Chain A
Amino acid sequence: MSTRPKHRWRATAINLGIVAALLTGLSFLPPDTSLADRQSAGVLKLCVPPSFPPLVTGEEGAPGYDVELAGAIAAALDLKLSLNVLPSIGQDYNPRNWFLTRAQCDIVGGGVADTAQTRSFMQTVPTQARTGWIGISPTGTMPPPGSVVAVLPGTSGLNRLALSGWLRQQQLRAQLVRSPAELSRALTSGAAAAAVTERFLADGIDLDQTGFVPFWLEGEGFTSFPMALGVWKGDQTLKRAIDAAVSDLEESGAMERLRERYGVDADLAPASTNQTPPSAVSPLE
């Protein structure tokens, strides 16, 4: 006769199960009222700069990637999107200098980089857009030392000091250009062996895509970084709802369509003129 107990671990399993269930249940408690407040107001306030193409354009038909994305999120949350234009946003990438308040904005778009600096003030909802300095050259790499490089810095505050330092270090001669057209002329005429510009400006440059390959530039002091929508730190319930909405949008393909439309992908070759195989893109990133 064996006296071995049949359910030796039952008590242990039951007790652990009860405690785990208790904790799981409690983990669904809302930690704050941020979502409930928005829902009772019925409005989701998005703060954007007047213009930060292509994230915010200010145009009626195509208001920009961030604005359309925020609209889709608001719709998913059953809220009305209200646009609040603040000129201080996007002048540089340190949101500390943007003078925002909770009263003005629920979420912030149009130039919020997903960096530790931003996250020290806000939580971020990554939008899959990516910006940073990119190079354009016939070979897909930077030319040898001594070559002339056309630089179009743009207006969004990427770190220009770091870039010029890096170019000097690579012994490249920087030549400032003022417009996409000028940049494209310098490249096609051969006056410059390569060009450097901001990723979001690249789509506006009218270039023969067969001859020129864009690639990410990475160096000390400047890297490319993902863009995001900013949510106030501590607004957990709102953040969770937005995260859920974004993941739904991603699954349905709506975000992908938006990215293609505005050309904000991390993948550099623009869909409309894509004749370069992706393998030619520099793996610098």
Chain B
Amino acid sequence: MNETAITVHDVTAHYGSKKALDQVNLTVPTGAHFALLGPNGAGKTTLVNILCTLRRPDGGTAVVAGADVIARPTQARRSIGVVFQDSSLDDRLTAWENLEFHGLVYGMAAKPRRAMISTVLELVELGDWTHEIVRTFSGGMRRRLEIARALLHRPKILFLDEPTVGLDAQTRQRIWQYLDRLRRESGLTVLTTTHYIEEVENADIVCIIDHGRIIAEAPPEQLKKDHGIRWLHVVPQDATAAEAIVQRFPQAQRLSGTGLALPAGDDDRTDAFLAEFRDRLSEIRFHPPTLESVFLSLTGRELRDRADGQRDADRAAGRRGGRR
């Protein structure tokens, strides 16, 4: 088996004049759980679209499971399973029919196909819903069905674009347990993209991406050690207080809502800050180094500080990418 599952070399992509990916280089070893972390619009979905051959890169090369995505897309497609950010189920068919369609399209023979359908449906606990029309499913159920579908043809590499949105903790755990087993037993490589920190804590390698550039790539513990500092999150009592803090401490970062975050690595400065603004704060909290704080210190922004409009624009871009 190949040592590297995915190799990305100097990949560049544009949407019009906007640069979505800027000379991205990546190597994902076989059997790894690789997480792409970044805010919406960072270029994660574009990269996934390139890797699953839906979009051609404007420059550079990408090799997936030993197949170049530009030169031999069909071979690459055979080895990958994809869970897209938005549903790609046919909601007028039943769960079983969606899976049957998938199995047939991947050329699976009747016996292994039917057996796998039962297996994956049990995995995502949709056994009772086998013959229900997908339209009646909740968001979480659809998500589970899509994950089941992506695993149906036993791919070598699984792409999960914002995978576990809308899943309850129990199901999420079950699915990850199953994926971990597949990784150990058959060398499945999992690549997830997310803007949820919780999703990547268990990853082998976390790759932080912003504005189409990779700004860090390491195991999560390594990242926390290298870039993580303690942060002080405060909520000022009013806007004038917030204004005063920002003017006094320019390194303060505005958080979503009314909060502010200050790097708290330097105890003197923290003391000075607290001494000065103690009475004008309604909330004070220290945050130990987390991936979130890593992200904050690397990009100067919170992960979830994007407006919904941006997210929609991102979706539209992803959809256009899919059509191209």
Contact = CB atoms under 8 A, between A and B. Distances in A.
Contacts of B114: 2-4
B76 interface: no
B131 interface: yes
A1 B127 CA distance: 11
User: Nearest 5 pairs between A and B by C-beta?
Assistant: A3-B130, A3-B118, A5-B131, A1-B118, A2-B114
B188 interface: no
Nearest to B99: A3
Interface of B: 94, 96, 114, 117-118, 121, 127, 130-131
A223 B159 CA distance: 78
A12 to B, nearest CB: 12
Nearest to A5: B131
A2 B117 CA distance: 9
B176 to A, nearest CB: 24
A5 B118 contact: no
Contacts of B118: 1-3
A9 to B, nearest CB: 12
Interface in A1-50: 1-5
A5 B94 contact: yes
Contacts of B96: 3-5
A2 B96 CA distance: 11
A4 B117 CA distance: 9
Contacts of B131: 3, 5
A4 B113 CA distance: 10
A223 B289 CA distance: 105
Contacts of A4: 96, 114
11 contacts: A2-B118, A3-B96, A3-B114, A3-B121, A3-B131, A4-B96, A4-B114, A5-B94, A5-B96, A5-B130, A5-B131
Contacts of B127: 3
Contacts of A5: 94, 96, 130-131
Nearest to A7: B131
Contacts of A1: 118
A4 B121 CA distance: 12
Given A1-B118, A2-B114, A4-B114, 8 more contacts: A2-B118, A3-B114, A3-B117, A3-B121, A3-B130, A4-B96, A5-B94, A5-B96
A96 to B, nearest CB: 58
Nearest to B122: A1
B136 to A, nearest CB: 15
A2 B127 CA distance: 11
A1 B121 CA distance: 12
Nearest to B127: A3
Nearest to A6: B131
Contacts of B117: 3
A138 B130 CA distance: 84
B92 to A, nearest CB: 12
Contacts of A2: 114, 118
